[in-house]
Amino acid sequence: MFSLRTAVRRASTARPLLSAQHAVSSARLGSPLARSSLKASAVPLLQGRHYSRATDPHLTSTRSTVVQLLSNIGSKREVQQYLSHFTSVSSQQFAVIKVGGAIITEHLQTLSSALAFLNHVGLYPIVVHGAGPQLNRMLEDAGVEPQFEDGIRVTDGKTLALARKLFLEENLKLVEELERIGIRARPLTAGVFSADYLDKERYNLVGKINGVNKKPIESAIEAGCLPILTSMAETPDGQVLNVNADVAAGELARALQPLKIVYLAEKGGLFNGDTGEKISAINLDEEYEDLLSQWWVRHGTRLKIKEMKDLLDDLPRTSSVAIIHPADLQKELFTDSGAGTLIRRGNKVHVSTSLSEFENLEKLKDVLVRDREGLDARATVDRYVEGLKERDFKVYNDEPMEALAVVLPPQKDATSHLAHLATFTITKSGWLTNVADNVFASIKKDYPKLVWTVKEDDENLTWFFDKADGSLSREGEVLFWYGVESGEEVKQLVQEFNQHGRQMFGDLNLESRLHRAAEAATSIGKGRGASAASTVQKRSFSTTTNALRAARMTRPMVPMNAFRTYATTNPNPPLGEKNMSNTQPSKVALIGARGYTGQALISLINAHPHLDLRHVSSRELAGKKLQGYDKREIIYENLSPEDVKRMSENGDVDCWVMALPNGVCKPFVDAVDQGSEKGNVIVDLSADYRFDSKWTYGLPELVNRSKIAQATRIANPGCYATAAQVGISPLVPYLGGQPTVFGVSGYSGAGTKPSPKNDVDNLTNNIIPYSLTDHIHEKEISAQLGTSIAFIPHVAVWFQGIHQTISIPLKEEMTSRDIRNIYQDRYAGEKLVKIVGEPPSVKDIAGRHGVEVGGFAVHSSGKRVVVCASIDNLLKGAATQCLQNMNLALGYGEYEGIPLE
C-alpha cells in the first residue's frame, strides 16, 4: 500500500507534468526523425480541409506517447475517462480557453506546450486572449493616459489604434510559438465577434457582443489548426470595437456550449480570503448563496463568481469553468484532483433519514441495483431496503441520483462510536462531474468520524485513499477511516476488522439473518480495477497545511473557512498579493490631506493599480489643484459633514481616509454612518478610535489579518506605537517587568502646524521631550500588548524617521541568540518587518516602508535585553500601514501598491 500511496502522491506533483511536456517537445523537435515525421504529417493538411489529427496515422504513436505521459499526473482510469469524455463531443465543443495578457508575456512557452499537449491527443481548444497589461505599458510609452469607468477602459480612437496593433502582435506571437513547436494554429483576428456600442457616450469605442460567427472557428479546426482569437469585435458597418477578453470568452462559450471554459491566470485560481488557501472547487447549486454571504467574497471575487454563475446558467450541466495556471492545465483537465479552481453548477445534495421521504421508493431501489450483478440482485436490494426500516440511517443523493450514499450512525448500544458508510454508488457521469466529492463532503459535515470498506480491486481505490486518514487491507477488502485520531481507536478498529472483517464494517449491523444481504448490498456501486498491498498505513504529514492540501486533492466541498493553518511559525501570515482577487477600482476620499501623512498617502495611491482617488478635502487648500497625483485632475475641496453624508448616500466613495488631528473626525465618521446603511470602509489615522472596541485596530503584523479584511471601521495605529509593539510583542510571554521605550522622532512627527517641536532652529543642537508620562501612545501600546509599558518620546532635528531603544526585563535568563531566534521566528514571512543584527539607524529607514528591529543586547545578568526598532513615521508609521489596511479591507493583495525591497 505504501508504494501505491507514494505513486499517487508523486503523480499529484507538477514535476512529472513538466517533465512530460519537455519530453514531448524533445520527441517532437529533438531529432531529424521527429522533424521528418512532423513534415510528413503536415502533407494531408495541404490536400483537403477535412483533416483530423486524431485519425492521422502519422500521429498515432505521438498520441499514444502523450496519453502515457498524461498518466504521470493521474491514474490511467482518470486520464482515459476524461479523454473519452472530451472527445465525445464535436471538436469545437471541447473547451474555450481564455488567456490573460500576462500569460502571453510571462509564460508563452508553458502555454504553448500545454496547448500542444491537448492537440496531440486530438483535442482542439479554442483560444481567445487579452493583452491588458501590455496595453497599459504601450499607452504609457505613447503618452496616452488610460481612463477607466466602473472598471471598463474608456477607448478613444488613439487607444483603439494602439490596442488593435498590440492585439495583432500578441496573437501572432502565440501563433508563431505554436507553429515553432509543430502545432498548426490559425489567427482569427476579425470576423468572429459582432457587437453594438456598450455605451458610446460613456465608454466610446467599447463593444457589447451581440453575435458569434462560428464558421471561421469550424474552418480552422477542419483544417487541423488551433483557432487563436483576439477580443476585438465589429459593428455591422465595420467599426472595430474593444471588448473585454473575459466577456468575449463567455459569449464564445454561450455560442459553442463547450464542456470546459478555462481561464488561464497567473494566480492559478480563486483564493479563500479567510484562510489564504486556493479554493479547489465551487459547487454553485449547493454553495452559491452561502458563498456570497462570506465576508471575503467581495469586489473582484464576488463579481467573478457571479459572472461564472450567469455563464453556467446558460450552458448544459455538463459544462464547468476552471481558473488555472497554464503549467497545471493538464492536471486540471485530466485528473479528479485538478489543480486550480473548478466552478460547476452541480446538484444540491438531498439528505433523507426515512424511507417515507422518497416519493418513489422503486427509484431508490433502481439506483441501488444498477451496478449489482447476479440474478438475485433485485431480491437482495429489497432485503437491504427492508433492513433499513429497523435502524437509523442517512441517505445522501443528488437530484438525478448520479451519486447515492447510505450512512449508518453508531448505535447507542454499540461498542464502536463510528459511523459506517454502508453504500456508495456513483455513475460514470457522477465521477466525471465530481458529484462524488460533493456527496462525500456532505457526509463529512455530518459525521466527523467514519469507516467504510472497499474491494481491493475497485478501480476508484485511489479516490478513497485520498478521502481517508488511514487504511487497512485484509483478504481482498480495504478498510478506510477518517477522524479516528487516538492510537487506541485505531488499534480497536484494526482488531475488529481482523476478527470480523466485513460483518463489522461493511454490513448494516443488523441481525444475523440479514448479514448476507447486507454484505451483498454494501458492494453496490463499487467498481473494479485497481489493487493495493496489505498493510496498515496512517496518513501523516509534517504540517496541517499538507494535510489540507491532501484533503483537497479530489475537490472535497468542505466549508471554505474550515481550515486556517500555516507552515510558518508566524500565526498571522500576510494574505499577500496572490490570495486576494479584487481587480475592480475603488473610489477613495481623503479628508484632511494637508499634512505630511496625507501627502505620503496620495503618492502611494497614485502608484496603486486599483485605487482611484476622487476627493481630497483640506480647508486651507480648498480650490487649489492637487499636486503629485497623475490619474486625474483633482481640486482640493473643503468638505463638510453634510457633504460627506450626501456622498455616502450616493455611493460616491468606497473608502474614506480620515487624516485629521486628534479629536475632530467624529462628525465626519458619523456622517458616513448616517449616509450609508451598509457603511463604507473608513480608515482613521488619528487616535480617536484606537480604544473603541467597535473599531478594528489595524496593525496587520500583530492583529489577525482576517479581522482587518472583514472590517469596515479601522483605527490606524500610531507611528511610535507600531514600532514599539513590533519591538516588544515577541517577548511578552517572557516579560519579567515593565518595558521602557525611549523614542526619538524627526520633526515631521510634530505635524505641519508651527510649534517649538517642529522649529528647525529650536531643534538644532537640541532634543525635546514630547511628554514625560501618560502620552497617548503609552496607553495605546499598553492596551494592545496587554501589559504596562513606560514610554518617553522625544523629537530631534531630522525630518522623518523614528528610533526606539527599548529596555525589556526578562523573567528568566536568556541569551542574545535565543532572543534573536524568537524575533526571526515570529516575523518569518513578514515583508515589512526586517530583523537585523546591529541596532538599526534612522538614516537607513527614512523613506522606506517597513520596520527594522535589532540590537538584542542582553545584560550580564541575562535577565534584561535591549532591543532597538526604527520606522519611518510617515510611511509604515502612517501612510504605508494605512494602505495595508485599505488593501485588506477592499479585497486587494495586502502589499498592492507598496514598493517592496
- Count CB atoms within 10 A of the CB of residue 243: 22
Grid coordinates representing 292 are 456570497
Angle (deg, nearest 10), helices 880-890 and 596-607: 50
For residue 237, report the phi and psi dihedrals to the nearest 5 degrees: -95, 10
Amino acid residing at 888: L
Q: How far is CA 478 from CA 443, 518, 736, in A?
A: 20, 17, 56
Cell 454490513 locates to 507
Of 517, 95, 147, 119, the residue nearest 315 (C-alpha): 95
Note the Cα 345 to chain centre separation in Å.
19
Catalytic residue status for 719: yes
Of 707, 718, 715, 610, the residue nearest 657 (C-alpha): 715
Amino acid residing at 303: L
The catalytically annotated residue of 665, 719, 868, 882 is 719
Judge whether 155 and 164 are in contact, CB under 8 Å.
no
For residue 122, report the phi and psi dihedrals to the nearest 5 degrees: 85, 20
Angle (deg, nearest 10), helices 245-256 and 299-313: 20
Cell 509604515 locates to 876
For residue 97, report the phi and psi dihedrals to the nearest 5 degrees: -115, 120
**Nearby residues of 51 by Cβ (< 8 Å), 6 or more positions away:** 44, 45, 222, 223, 224
Of 204, 208, 228, the residue nearest 216 (C-alpha): 228
Q: Quote the DSSP letter at residue 737.
A: S
Of 460, 461, 487, 485, the residue nearest 473 (C-alpha): 461
Grid coordinates representing 167 are 492585439
Grid coordinates representing 277 are 488557501
Of 799, 679, 697, the residue nearest 746 (C-alpha): 799
**Nearby residues of 267 by Cβ (< 8 Å), 6 or more positions away:** 323, 325, 578, 581
Residues annotated as catalytic are 719
